A and B are shown apart, each in its own frame.
Chain A
């Protein structure tokens, strides 16, 4: 999150290799001159960057006793000697064992995340359209106010919000968590979607208005279809944010609604030495965001470049 996106030159997203424009050929020429040392170093660093994750991943498939007795790197030697033992036992324990029971929390993560992505996007879409294409009194002031709210750290809002939920009797329910995430996401969502909407040629919207279409028709028939990439970009953003969130889930939730992050963090505190369960648990909590991220990375990067990041 930042207040400066407006002034940031929107950098070009690297184009797919299939287009053969001038600059693309220049790029290929530069590639051909690529420095072999730079290539080697880049790959080595990328591998070093990944080693900690690999270590935990390997551990999650090792038997408990092995995990306690020897480092994960010894498996490569063992595997060559034909002694390596791997199993899904740790995952089974982490998911279904009474003391960890991550399967329940997996469900919670989904139930928390989907509405917390869907609701703010819907609300922000309408607001962004209003700010972009309806000329009403006070519009500019209100838009700047919404934009400025991006700088408010959510820590400052959490406790009074919780008190209000307690007074209303909805504390610890999914509703409280959905509403909190929705409110926190709105400034960035409205701002981002507004920027994307402003990119739609004004003539397109005006032509539709001339033809007698009301704002609601223009919204559904003209604007919404053109906005799919923007929605995907922000949707992934918000999905990763909510799925990976710990603070809001911890404060607003109860054991019935806790998502994976809260439970796994709890395990890290209470069973910090049980690396066989902890490693499997960590990967159970990471698998969904990794899949979403890897399959939709293109949109994620576009969203990042368009609006910087929320934090």
Chain B
């Protein structure tokens, strides 16, 4: 049994476990399908649950049950042994340390999605009229492929600081020195550091926004553009009065999708500053409270808050989609 669970640091053993894991699942699915296929005239519910049962069970045990447990834990003390009512939420909304975290999170959700979407939109519009479209889009899209940890390291290097008088190794400080300024410790000074960390996120997400928006810009019928052109609309007027209204539904989807990603992103802040220097956000504080401070109750409350903040974003999204359905 232990052999099946732990591979230690033997690579061969690990790969073997991987093959066993995959084979086990193939066998399990095979058995399910075999059983479903057995009866001559099976009732529909039997076949239906044969196909969907595994997924439903996994979702129930892996998603629904733990989420309910977390909600319950958010009303309990730090060891989840006693009921404390709304104390954890009260702490999150009154103690300065957590107010800072909530404030940062609000800043992230308000700024990052809008800037990323706008950057993606502007670039999609620009590149639509240019040569080398494929290569240019590819380069902007590339950060989507790499991990947020990798992206954070890339940018941490850009923000690297060396004292004045020594050769700078960080690109941003080098620019400041070239322009005659003093090198800065960018990641230490609030609130600038939060914005500089956001740059990493925007750098990644703009490519996502560009790809989706570029596709919808291309889907605008040519005759609409022709008609506008004959009416004398051009340049920025074309952008504001034709392009934006035509791709509005896609804009809303991109904006809200990025907003939801923003809320859940924890890798970037963790890699850049580990939440120090007043940069922490809810998604990271949830982790720190549980695994560093050992406060299960507060951590659960923060996780629930994360879920609660997502809901208005989704409602906005659904409403906007309904509106655009009606217009059509």
Chain A 13-50, CB within 8 Å of chain B: the 1/0 string? 11000000001001100110011001101110111011
What is the chain A residue whose CB lies nearest that of B268?
A246
* Cβ contacts under 8 Å, B218 to chain A: 11-12, 14, 27
* B232 beta carbon closer than 8 Å to chain A: no
Contact B51 A215 (CB under 8 A): yes
Contact A305 B212 (CB under 8 A): yes
Contact B55 A268 (CB under 8 A): no
Chain A 125-167, CB within 8 Å of chain B: the 1/0 string? 0110111001111110010001001011111111111011000
Given contacts A159-B290, A159-B296, A183-B59, contact A14 B215 (CB under 8 A): yes
* A104 beta carbon closer than 8 Å to chain B: yes
Q: How far is the CA of A11 from the CA of B249 in the complex (A)?
A: 11
Contact A4 B321 (CB under 8 A): yes
Which chain B residues numbered 43 to 92 have a C-beta less than 8 Å away from chain A?
44-45, 47-52, 54-56, 58-59, 61-67, 69-71, 73
CB proximity of A94 to chain B, nearest CB, Å: 12
Set A3, A43, A136, A243: member contacting B49, Cβ < 8 A: A136
* Cβ contacts under 8 Å, A23 to chain B: 222
Given contacts A9-B219, A155-B286, contact A114 B18 (CB under 8 A): yes
What is the chain B residue whose CB lies nearest that of A108?
B14
Q: Which of A82-90, A200-208, A225-233, A289-297 contacts B (4 or more CB under 8 A)?
A: A289-297
Chain A 170-183, CB within 8 Å of chain B: the 1/0 string? 10011100111011
Q: How far is the CA of A311 from the CA of B52 in the complex (A)?
A: 24
Contact B67 A126 (CB under 8 A): no
Q: Which of B101-109, B129-137, B188-196 contacts A (4 or more CB under 8 A)?
A: B129-137
CB proximity of B2 to chain A, nearest CB, Å: 10
Q: How far is the CA of A286 from the CA of B154 in the complex (A)?
A: 11
CB proximity of B26 to chain A, nearest CB, Å: 7
CB proximity of B60 to chain A, nearest CB, Å: 9
What is the chain B residue whose CB lies nearest that of A273?
B160
* Cβ contacts under 8 Å, B277 to chain A: none
Contact A34 B130 (CB under 8 A): yes
Contact B65 A3 (CB under 8 A): no
- Most chain B beta carbons < 10 A, residue from A55, A68, A72: A55
Contact B129 A34 (CB under 8 A): yes
Contact B130 A115 (CB under 8 A): no
Q: How far is the CA of A178 from the CA of B22 in the complex (A)?
A: 10
Q: How far is the CA of A286 from the CA of B146 in the complex (A)?
A: 6
CB proximity of A148 to chain B, nearest CB, Å: 10
CB proximity of A8 to chain B, nearest CB, Å: 5
Contact B132 A43 (CB under 8 A): yes
Which chain A residues numbered 221 to 270 have a C-beta less than 8 Å away from chain B?
240, 243-247, 250-251, 256, 261, 264-265, 268-269
* A71 beta carbon closer than 8 Å to chain B: yes
Set A67, A170, A175, A286: member contacting B150, Cβ < 8 A: A286
* B233 beta carbon closer than 8 Å to chain A: no
Contact A127 B55 (CB under 8 A): yes
Residue count of chain A within 8 Å CB distance of chain B = 134
* B303 beta carbon closer than 8 Å to chain A: yes
Contact B139 A46 (CB under 8 A): yes
CB proximity of A33 to chain B, nearest CB, Å: 8
* A309 beta carbon closer than 8 Å to chain B: yes
Given contacts A175-B5, A216-B37, contact A160 B132 (CB under 8 A): no
- Most chain A beta carbons < 10 A, residue from B17, B48, B299, B325: B48
What is the chain B residue whose CB lies nearest that of A118?
B22
* Cβ contacts under 8 Å, A12 to chain B: 215, 218-219
Given contacts A149-B63, A159-B300, A244-B148, contact A67 B169 (CB under 8 A): yes
* Cβ contacts under 8 Å, A149 to chain B: 59, 63-64
* Cβ contacts under 8 Å, B257 to chain A: 1-2, 308-309, 311
* B32 beta carbon closer than 8 Å to chain A: yes
Contact B140 A45 (CB under 8 A): yes
Given contacts A122-B29, A268-B156, contact A301 B147 (CB under 8 A): no
Chain B 1-31, CB within 8 Å of chain A: the 1/0 string? 0000111110100110110011001100100
Given contacts A49-B139, A49-B140, A247-B267, contact A42 B127 (CB under 8 A): yes
Contact A182 B51 (CB under 8 A): no
Q: How far is the CA of A255 from the CA of B127 in the complex (A)?
A: 45
CB proximity of A279 to chain B, nearest CB, Å: 7
Q: How far is the CA of A22 from the CA of B49 in the complex (A)?
A: 47
Contact B58 A186 (CB under 8 A): yes
* A77 beta carbon closer than 8 Å to chain B: no
* B114 beta carbon closer than 8 Å to chain A: no
* B274 beta carbon closer than 8 Å to chain A: yes
Contact B215 A137 (CB under 8 A): no
Given contacts A7-B325, A67-B169, A286-B150, contact A39 B132 (CB under 8 A): yes
Contact A56 B153 (CB under 8 A): yes
Contact A186 B55 (CB under 8 A): yes
Given contacts A34-B130, A73-B171, A137-B45, contact A216 B215 (CB under 8 A): no
* Cβ contacts under 8 Å, A2 to chain B: 253, 256-257, 260, 314, 317
* B243 beta carbon closer than 8 Å to chain A: no
* Cβ contacts under 8 Å, B132 to chain A: 39, 42-43
* Cβ contacts under 8 Å, A164 to chain B: 66
* B184 beta carbon closer than 8 Å to chain A: no
Given contact pairs A7-B249, A170-B5, A245-B147, a sample of 10 additional A-B residue pairs in the complex whose CB atoms are under 8 Å apart: A4-B253, A52-B171, A126-B51, A136-B47, A151-B314, A153-B306, A186-B63, A240-B144, A261-B147, A265-B149
